[in-house]
Structure 1
Amino acid sequence: MSIAKMSMIHNSYRYFTVSVDKYEDRCMKGVIYHAGKTPGIRYDNFLEMIIQMNRIFDSMSCPKQAMELRRFTGIEYPEPVIRECNRYQNGRMATFQIYVKFRYNASWQGDITWLEGEQTESFESLLQMLQMIDRIFTGQSEERGTRVTKICQIAINSCEKGLVTGRVQNAFINHLERFKGTIGLADAMVRLFEAGVGENDSGKSLEGKIISEETWDSYRLGGKEATFLIKILFREHSTWQGVIYWRETGEKQAFRSFLEMIMLIASALESGKEEREFEDRFTTTNNREKARMEG
């Protein structure tokens, strides 16, 4: 659904200052400040950061979201708790100023400035912005190569406050790569879809034809929390377009960007968490009632 492409809010409200206090295993933690003002909002991972930023953009309708993000049927996007930080400070590791000019193509477009390095780059999508941040911390250049596949399975083993961990795999080319966090997930998918290279757990090249029993077993088993099959159909606007299949429910949904894909995954994981919490409360109540009757 097309919403709008115009906004009357002052440009300063399109700015966020992002302090990064920790960057470990491609997981970042720090504080975001909207328009450079306090109080800021603490975040424990990249996914929580973008959800909080998107929430603020939506509340102001600035920048206008040109396409309403898609959802799985009957499932809402997660709303992390707002944890305020009343003191403004630069990040211990880095500080970024992110200027989101537009929210077209189910993603973000704008500029990101690394304040300490005095570098500014433009981005066409959240995926591209994410890769720019990762290159600053890791020094790894953007990989490009021959695409070997358009399909992968994402097995989520845990999701704690938006920090997802699991595996990206394609059993048919003997690819199994563990990841931690949204940036780690994106990096694993880029290596599979765009670089055409990767390593298995032993550090050997994935060019071989023999499929290990570990890869097959983990592929069939899926994730402890949820499992998604991803098919990439196009790569436009510096991001991916394709189809996501939620294996546990059998539901399919098209996505138009990495942002939309990761939000669909986050909403599915949040709904599963709510169901488990309800079941736990129901079981606890039944056990108490049974104990009372037997007592």
Structure 2
Amino acid sequence: MTIEKSLPNMVMVCVDGVENGDIYGRYFHRYKKEETFFPDSATLVIEMERFYDAIGYPQAATKTRKFMERKGGRIPAKEHMAVISDSQALIQLRGNLATFLVGVTSRQNASWQGDVVWMEQKIRKHFCSDMELVVFVDDAVKKSEL
């Protein structure tokens, strides 16, 4: 009931609480041992998008428009990131309210497509957009609060 463990962009989202109706918590990936905190679901999506851009996987079908030029005028090449922790260590992590293993397989139509597993309930769901992913996570957290 897990996502393909060899997926290079596997992210474990640990939801620790809800504040003002929005989730907050931590997320982990295989290229960094430390946790990354997110104060709300919008920040989580933005940070995960930056992570996907940094590793270059999955490759974005569209590029974000920029209205201001970068210094030097060149866009840096994708970062080379070394795998620090294995997927087994990632799967052991848990959030205070809920935990989700997210595997984005493509980024088309300015959104994400992939699979998510709600680890506590062992429910796997395919999502066709990042908004659909956030709604699933939000609904799952509401159910786990009951």
AA paired with 1:94?
A
The answer to whether 1:74 aligns with 2:64 is no
- For residues 141 and 129 of structure 2, what CA distance do their matches in structure 1 show? 19
Q: How does 1:239-258 map to 2 (within 5 A)?
A: none
Structure 2: stretches of 5+ with no match in the other structure? 71-89
Partner of 2:45: 50
- Whether contact under 8 Å (1:26, 1:134) holds in the other structure is no
The answer to whether 1:109 aligns with 2:109 is no
Structure 1 residues 38-97: Cα deviation after superposition (integer angstroms, max 9, x where no partner)? 2221111112212221111111111100111235x3399xxxxxxxxxxx8410000000
- Whether contact under 8 Å (1:15, 1:36) holds in the other structure is no
- Whether contact under 8 Å (1:31, 1:42) holds in the other structure is yes
Structure 1: stretches of 5+ with no match in the other structure? 1-9, 77-87, 140-295
TM-score by length of 1: 0.37
SS in 2 for 1:51: helix
| Higher CA-based Rg | 1
- Whether contact under 8 Å (2:23, 2:138) holds in the other structure is no
Partner of 2:55: 60
Q: How big is the alpha-carbon RMSD for the aligned residues of Structure 1 and Structure 2?
A: 2.3
- Whether contact under 8 Å (1:102, 1:109) holds in the other structure is yes
- Whether contact under 8 Å (2:45, 2:130) holds in the other structure is no
AA paired with 1:74?
M
TM-score by length of 2: 0.71
Partner of 1:30: 25
- Cα distance, 1:107 vs. partner? 0.5
The answer to whether 1:119 aligns with 2:123 is yes
Structure 1 residues 171-230: Cα deviation after superposition (integer angstroms, max 9, x where no partner)? xxxxxxxxxxxxxxxxxxxxxxxxxxxxxxxxxxxxxxxxxxxxxxxxxxxxxxxxxxxx
Aligned identity (percent) is 27
SS in 2 for 1:12: coil
SS in 1 for 2:8: helix
SS in 2 for 1:127: helix
- Cα distance, 1:12 vs. partner? 2.7
Structure 1 residues 130-164: Cα deviation after superposition (integer angstroms, max 9, x where no partner)? 1111221235xxxxxxxxxxxxxxxxxxxxxxxxx
Q: Report the number of matched residues.
A: 118
